[in-house]
Chain A
Amino acid sequence: MGNDQGQVPLTPAVFHILFALASGDKHGYEIAKQVAEDSQGRVRMGTGTLYGSIKRMLADALIGETGQRPAPDLDDERRRYYRLTEQGHRALRAELARYARVVAVARDRDLLASA
């Protein structure tokens, strides 16, 4: 999994988690809320799916746990915060570039006008 091109295309869950973490470090429920917000409520990630994806992404070094925590009055010690790794950034950029190419081709073929 060291090759970024090997990780493209990403699964929807992995893509949405990477996309959510691109705006900053978050814990599990914040990621789920951000995913729902980014997709205008179309994607609702359940707890099992979320942590299954997080486990695989940690193993693939796309994300990592961060030691930085918010202020103690806003924090719960049991929570774990996740951040994007450099490899995760590269995988996200590669996936977005793939989407951009698909959109460009669709635009060339006038497929987006009818949508």
Chain B
Amino acid sequence: MYRLLVRLYPAAHRRAFGEQMVQTFGDHYRDAVEARGGSRLRFWVAVLADGGTSLLTEHTAELRALWRRGRRQAATPQRRRGRLTRREGHRRVATRRRWAPGPGAIPGAMTRRRRVRLRLRYRPSVGRSARVLVRSRHHQLVYRGRIAALAVTVALIAAALGAGTATRHLGMSVLVTGLFMAAWLGYGMRLDRRIPAGPHWDGPAPPGGAGVREPLRPLPLSPAGSAARPMPDQDPPGQAAALI
């Protein structure tokens, strides 16, 4: 269960600390619930509340880093000081509207339209991620949720747990949390079939591997094929012999 929660963290964080987090969680669970006989419900509420806030923090930090990286890559030469000056005799003259075509423009400088297009292109594509959670022989469970939906769900869960703790209706808040989780999983989870492209359902994949299919060819006598054949009186010079 906690491994599933860990899979929701950003990939870099998961790679660096995922195993340690699972191990620490195991130690904590054994210590708090099994050794001291604490309440499982209370333990899981604390874990989910902590997981929700830290998920939100880590994803926000990741988004911020991605955004900053994207901005840095999209930074146009116009923004870098000292580089966009032009020589006029022995002087360097900074142009005011360097992107605008005309007498003040620097040869090779980006136009404003291109700059805007670049900025959009480097916008981090963090909207949608697809992760295979469980894989069997014929099926795989894929999470294709959006980060925004995850953030909204985490916020709703945190609000439900916070309200439940404040009003001492923990059972109800856990129920509501479960509903939020179910709605989120239903929105983001997809069960995909893994069908090999071989001739038989259970058979081995053909040479080239599963998923590699031959392109469709037109039938020999299809209308497309007959229309594509050149008429004898339209032969291009030098190619008539090829039809004989």
Chain A interface residues toward B at CB < 8 A: 27-29, 32-33, 44, 46-52, 54-55, 76, 78-80
Contact = CB atoms under 8 A, between A and B. Distances in A.
Given A29-B27, A47-B25, 15 more contacts: A28-B21, A29-B28, A46-B47, A47-B21, A47-B24, A47-B51, A48-B50, A48-B58, A49-B50, A50-B24, A51-B17, A51-B24, A51-B54, A55-B17, A79-B23
A51 B28 contact: no
Given A46-B50, A54-B17, A55-B17, A28 B24 contact: yes
Contacts of B24: 28-29, 32, 47, 50-51
Nearest to B26: A29
Interface string B50-67: 110111011000000000
A48 B28 contact: no
Contacts of A29: 23-24, 27-28
28 contacts: A27-B20, A28-B20, A29-B24, A29-B27, A29-B28, A32-B24, A33-B31, A44-B46, A46-B46, A46-B47, A46-B50, A46-B51, A47-B25, A47-B28, A47-B50, A48-B21, A48-B53, A51-B13, A51-B17, A51-B20, A51-B21, A51-B24, A51-B54, A52-B13, A52-B54, A52-B58, A76-B23, A79-B20
Interface size class of B (residues with CB under 8 A): 20 to 34
Contacts of A32: 24, 28
A11 B125 CA distance: 31
Contact of B53 (A27, A44, A49): A49
A36 to B, nearest CB: 10
A111 B212 CA distance: 77
A78 B20 contact: yes
Interface string B17-41: 1011101110110010000000000
B242 interface: no
A83 to B, nearest CB: 16
A79 to B, nearest CB: 7
